[in-house]
Amino acid sequence: MMTQPATGRAARLEDVAALAGVSTATASKALHNKPRISEETKQRVLDAAKQLNYSPNKLAQSLARGTTGTIGLVTSDLQGRFSTPILIGAENELRAQSTSVLLANARGDAALERQHVEKLLSLKVDGLLIVQCETNPRPTLGHDWGVPLVYVYGPSTDPKDCSVTCDNVDAGRMAINHLISCGRRHIAIIGGDETYTAATDRTKGALEALSELGIEPAGPIRYGKWDEGWGRAATRLLLDQGVTFDAVVCQNDQLARGCIDALKQQGLRIPDDVAVIGHDNWSVLTSSSRPALTSIDNETETIGRRAARYLVDAIDGNPHHGVDYVPCHLIQRESTLPLD
């Protein structure tokens, strides 16, 4: 009769093999889904492993596979505003794999990015996450590194690469549909920097949503800087030109804060007279805004988790290709309450 290991000792592969009535080599093959193992034997080994709460020795597995259990993350985000939650998401995904992350900051410099990649590879990382600070497509680093690469936030232009980013087109749709659901019909749009695909993608989604309802945007769509100053200036232009509007989509939260300031200076109430929505869900701004700002979260932690999962898959010999667009998520606060 097979028995479980003594209390206080973690189960070993030998214990799983003994409980399943197979050799240690067979147990190992079954747990690693190797060929030439019958389904009945494999299931018996899996049942034994579950019964014993068996946890494989990750270090031994790494040595056997010739891997180190580390990955590299190269970021171009100086402030960490986007790369920090991406890193947190990646680490949460990798924790169960007992995989460590080595972080390097390329500071937006393509040459330095390549140096960091080479340095991390000299440290024998099993794969690399390449993180951008914006969603603009970027050139590939190529495919001759000997380990898989996954591009995060800023997708690679090479369809053979694996990239993960947020769905800014759908986020633009989401902003309009939310304001419509709040009873608004005269919706202005304040754009960010037009050289960023985040701005043009969010505009594309917003205009598609308006078009489907047979509605034109209130006033012209103007682009400028991603800061509160442009948010105030663009709002004053709408007011000075006599544009009728009961809601404003601002393409980031800084623009929204500037917009709210300008509306208040004109004696307008938010959201009673004008509803305001932002993008990015930057808590520093959304929570301190008065009223608290409705915004669309880019799901950067989810992007980090998914990118890490794809990288692990690639390390295991199952690579993904193309761009995966992660849906954004709207967080409603007081700046867009429905009309009575």
Q: Could you read off the pLDDT of 145-159 as tens digits, one per residue? A: 889 999 999 999 999
Q: Which pLDDT score, from 0 to 100, does residue 50 have?
A: 83
Q: How far is CA 153 from CA 28, 109, 145, 333, in A?
A: 38, 16, 21, 26
Q: Which pLDDT score, from 0 to 100, does residue 66 have?
A: 55
Which span out of 74-78, 84-88, 324-328 was modeled with the highest average pLDDT?
324-328
Cα–Cα distance, 199 to 279 (Å, whole number):
10
Kindly report the three-state secondary structure assignment for every residue of 58-124.
HHHHHHHHCCCCEEEEEECCCCCCCHHHHHHHHHHHHHCCCCEEEEEECCCCHHHHHHHHHHHHHCC
Q: How confident is the model at residue 57 (pLDDT cuts 50, 70, 90)?
A: low
Neighbours of 55 (CB within 10 A): 11
Contact 30, 37 (CB under 8 A): yes
Cα–Cα distance, 312 to 115 (Å, whole number):
23
Cα–Cα distance, 81 to 89 (Å, whole number):
13
Q: How confident is the model at residue 84 (pLDDT cuts 50, 70, 90)?
A: confident
H or E segment and range at residue 45: helix 39-51
Instruction: Evaluate if residue 15 carries a pLDDT over 90.
Output: no
Q: How far is CA 92 from CA 84, 99, 124, 156, 308, in A?
A: 12, 10, 22, 24, 9
Tokens 């270090």 found at: 59
- Assign 177 to helix, strand or coil: helix
Q: What angle do CA 185, 186, 188 make, to 5 degrees?
A: 130
Q: Which pLDDT score, from 0 to 100, does residue 7 have?
A: 47
Q: What is the mean pLDDT of residues 181-198?
A: 97
Of 11-25, 40-54, 55-69, 134-148, least confident by mean pLDDT is 55-69
Tokens 């494989």 found at: 56
Instruction: Evaluate if residue 64 carries a pLDDT over 70.
Output: no
Q: Which pLDDT score, from 0 to 100, does residue 12 have?
A: 77
Instruction: Evaluate if residue 2 carries a pLDDT over 60.
Output: no
User: What is the DSSP-derived secondary structure letter of residue 287?
Assistant: T
pTM, to two decimals:
0.78
* Percent of the chain with pLDDT strictly greater than 90: 62
Q: What is the mean pLDDT of residues 262-279?
A: 97
Q: Which pLDDT score, from 0 to 100, does residue 1 have?
A: 39
